[in-house]
């Protein structure tokens, strides 16, 4: 936010380039959205709601990656997001393994569903 404000302060009214302004505005909007996704994902992680947390953290990680591609300070710490995404996947893997090892049909089916729908699709991105 401070970078965006400093950039706007440098622009004089007669020098306003609307295209550049719109790009900055969109980048800032993406930064805010990424921040929201990351915050909600981390809150859900702390509440041990790993299924929902993973969804938020995956989107936050991908959007943040796009922001960082435009400049070093345009996003959040990539390692922090990656760490919590991996931790979330590990917790989901543990839960799915425990369900599978229980031997009870509904638990096994749920565990397999978690593995097939959440853990396995995310393995290439970690």
Neighbours of 25 (CB within 10 A): 13
Which of the residue ranges 6-10, 60-64, 72-76, 100-104 has the most confident prediction, judged by mean pLDDT?
60-64
Domain boundaries, the chain: 2-125
CA–CA gap between residue 5 and residue 11 (Å, rounded) = 10
CB under 8 Å to 119, separation ≥6 — which residues?
89, 92, 93, 96
Q: What digits encode the pLDDT tens for the residues 70-98?
A: 888 888 998 999 899 889 888 888 887 88
Which tokens belong to 104?
């009870």
Answer whether residue 123 shows pLDDT above 70: no
CA–CA gap between residue 93 and residue 75 (Å, rounded) = 29
Strand ranges (E), the chain: none
Q: Which residue has the higher pLDDT, 59 or 126?
A: 59
Answer whether residue 44 shows pLDDT above 90: yes
pLDDT of residue 100: 73
Answer whether residue 64 shows pLDDT above 90: yes
pLDDT of residue 37: 95
pTM: 0.73
pLDDT of residue 2: 81
Answer whether residue 119 shows pLDDT above 80: no
CA–CA gap between residue 99 and residue 126 (Å, rounded) = 23
């Amino acid at each position: 936010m401070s970078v965006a404000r400093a950039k706007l302060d440098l622009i004089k009214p007669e020098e306003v380039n609307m295209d550049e302004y719109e790009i900055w505005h969109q980048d800032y909007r993406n930064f805010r959205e990424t921040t929201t996704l990351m915050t909600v994902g981390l809150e859900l992680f702390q509440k041990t709601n790993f299924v929902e947390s993973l969804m938020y953290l995956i989107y936050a990680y991908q959007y943040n990656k796009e922001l960082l591609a435009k400049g070093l300070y345009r996003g959040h710490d990539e390692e922090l997001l990656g760490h919590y995404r991996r931790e979330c996947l590990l917790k989901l893997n543990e839960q799915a393994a425990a369900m599978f090892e229980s031997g009870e049909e509904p638990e096994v089916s749920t565990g397999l569903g978690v593995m097939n729908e959440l853990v396995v699709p995310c393995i290439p991105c970690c």
